[in-house]
Structure 1
Amino acid sequence: MKGQYLSPPVDDRLIWDAWLAMHNLPAMLAADEISLFDALVDGPLPLDALAARCNVNPRALGIMNSLLCGLGFLVRREGRYGLTPTSRNYLVKSSNFYWGVLLSGFRQSAPNTELLLAALAPDAAHEGGENAKGWEAGEIPLDRAIGIAAFMHAHSCAPAIGVAQHPVFADVKRFLDVGAGSGVFTIAVAQRWKHLRGSVLDLGTMCTAAQKYIDEGEVADRVDTVALDFFRQPWPSGYDALFFSNVFHDWSDETCLDLARKAFDVLPSGGRIMLHEALINDNFDGPATPASFSVLMLYGTQGRQFTLPEFAALLGKAGFVDCEASATCGYYSLVIARKP
């Protein structure tokens, strides 16, 4: 998109729904393979007990169960997972109405099933895909960086415009977008708030890829790039807001806490951390599309999608206070917390 970013007349939830529906059948097939629904015939179970009965990784099972809840095949009450009337009648192997034999015939046409089953294995490492490994190693080839920037720009342009409408930016003078990809959020914020100066922080090749979008967005006079490996090199100071979009969902809870602490250390008193993510319900029971996004993170990265209370707890451990969230566009929310 060249020039001024203009808000689209509708959000992009239908696109996300269609894209991430690719996990619906694989989740059902994986659940059938591990006899998940059969394990619940005698009554609801907490996650750890259910994972033990199915002999799978509890963390991976919790991620998949959020999708199954969002689809209406599981229900979660008081921390325990149970069957719904649909799953009890149609997905339990002993039922006269069992659909599994039919559904399993489509397993070859649902290759994500194997990825999900691999992630559910008790000893699964969850090391992430090639892109996550590139950031972890501190090196991404330029051709891949250009592709990553284009991919991220495509699904982030509308949400970036939504983020830029938040009134919090009226008080922000210098904005640092960490792991910024194409720089789309910095561009949108700089276009909306003319007083603000922004920086796009990422690996060198990603910054090279982002420069094209900065130039096309006509904000190069107020947006620069900072080529830096944020895992290994000291972070710059002098910014009163640090922003992360689709970053925390890539990494383990321990790594996310480390990133939050680094942000806390370089922010001034009153400075803000901002996390832009598609949130899971507080009860870990959907919505289906963000839960499916979390399944994608499960086998494509080292992370997952978070709930707001989880973010509040994580940011609280790093020293931040006053954590709150506001919807931006589609399934996304902007989570903001303050350094005292």
Structure 2
Amino acid sequence: MPMDLEKPTCDDSLIRQLSISIFQLPILSVADELGVFSHLEREPTGIAELARQLSLSFRATEALLASLAGMGLLARFQGKFHLTETSRNFLLPDRPFYWGHMLRLIGQVPVTHSTLLETLRRDGAIAWDAGKVITEEWDRVDLSEERAFVFTRAMHSHSFATAVGLAQRVELTGVGRLLDVAGGSGCFSIALARQNPHVQFTVAELPPVCKTTRQYVAEHGLEGRIDVVALDMFRDAWPPGHDVIFFANVLHDWDSARRQRLIQRSFEVLPPGGRILIYELLLSDGQDGPLTAALSSMNMVYLTPGKQLTAGELDELVRGCGFTDVSVMPAYAGYSLISARKPLDR
């Protein structure tokens, strides 16, 4: 006779949710493409009316809206669906912090069980039919202007809110000029410039990116405060005359040797007393989370030779290149700012 089964020590709701979580990002990006959030901004609406506006069935619209509400992006009140603060801030195309461009870019990356397993077993990003491994294009400066625009616009979506959050926390008193290495759209320099009118900025980027960077700088009326220079950060000479060098979401893209090369070049070009600032989503020192940083690290393993770093790893990296006075400050939405200084006697 079979033995009686004992009840599990916990229920399986987490596993159940994870087993269907593959739908979450596509639901979000499809809702964005269908204009769900723009429709509901104009007028909160019930299921039947929105189904008619979107030319979808009631059944499909019901599932879509229920999922978005379950994810915290919509709220139902008196029979109509309304935007939440998250969707109002980040999912309306005419808002400055719109995430849609990044959502569409991520949606083009074919993550499957088999491709992830192959990546992990090879310990290296694989190339797929949809495109090349991202850092290979950067390393060879092998970017068309069109692809540079698409990627830079997506990264602007990804980073502008956190750039503004950082700008309200970081202290730039006494800084004359800041070099924003691999600064993308210039969103961090834009946010910092608006908060620190006494500081001049230089955004250094690959030549195909610079046109898009200048467009963003011009949109904010900061052409007189932010210079944009074409630069291969591994091969070209860095522009002199900066007392702060800044990296945002850069070091995690590269292997340990190239991370060290970037920090060493920073030390060499800075004057004595100059500072390096590193803005990253940090793994815990115990390397057991948090989840967003851990998933971001998996994204790096899948797409690049890099990984998310711990505060301890960054401390060791910058000290190993000669920097001192290392500090770590939580800044915005899980991001931290690491600051270090080149000694006065160097």
- TM-score w.r.t. the length of structure 2 is 0.65
**2:119, 2:178 → 1: CA distance?**
37
Query: Quick one: which amino acid aligns to residue 197 of structure 2?
Result: K
Which position in structure 2 is the counterpart of 1:252?
255
Contact persistence 1:325–1:336 (CA under 8 A): yes
2:229 is equivalent to residue 221 of structure 1: no
Deviation of 1:130 (Å) = 3.1
Deviation of 1:323 (Å) = 1.5
**1:191, 1:160 → 2: CA distance?**
11
**1:144, 1:111 → 2: CA distance?**
20
Deviation of 1:131 (Å) = 2.4
Deviation of 1:115 (Å) = 2.8
Which position in structure 1 is the counterpart of 2:327?
324
Q: Percent identity between the aligned chains?
A: 37
Would you say how many aligned residue pairs link Structure 1 and Structure 2? 235
**2:269, 2:244 → 1: CA distance?**
10
**1:166, 1:258 → 2: CA distance?**
28
- TM-score w.r.t. the length of structure 1 is 0.66
2:141 is equivalent to residue 138 of structure 1: yes
Match for residue 276 of structure 2 among 246, 258, 273: 273
Match for residue 297 of structure 1 among 283, 296, 300: 300
2:266 is equivalent to residue 232 of structure 1: no
Deviation of 1:127 (Å) = 6.9
Query: Quick one: which amino acid aligns to residue 193 of structure 1?
Result: N
Q: What is the Cα-based RMSD across aligned positions, in Å?
A: 2.1
Deviation of 1:116 (Å) = 2.2
**1:172, 1:22 → 2: CA distance?**
46
**1:259, 1:225 → 2: CA distance?**
19
Contact persistence 1:23–1:292 (CA under 8 A): no
SS across alignment from 1:170: coil
Deviation of 1:217 (Å) = 1.2
CA distance 1:199–1:285, change in 2 (3 Å): same
Query: Quick one: which amino acid aligns to residue 251 of structure 2?
Result: F
Which position in structure 2 is the counterpart of 1:68?
none
Which position in structure 1 is the counterpart of 2:154?
151
SS across alignment from 1:213: helix
The 5 A counterparts of 1:71-82 are none
Give CA-to-partner distance per residue, 1:34-62, whole Å, 9 cap, x none: xxxxxxxxxxxxxxxxxxxxxxxxxxxxx
Deviation of 1:111 (Å) = 4.1
Contact persistence 1:158–1:329 (CA under 8 A): no
Which position in structure 1 is the counterpart of 2:199?
196
Bigger Rg, structure 1 or 2: 2
CA distance 1:111–1:185, change in 2 (3 Å): closer
**1:208, 1:222 → 2: CA distance?**
17
**2:112, 2:173 → 1: CA distance?**
44
Unaligned runs of 5+ in 1: 1-17, 25-109
2:171 is equivalent to residue 168 of structure 1: yes
- Higher relative CO (CA 8 A, sep ≥ 6), structure 1 or 2? 1
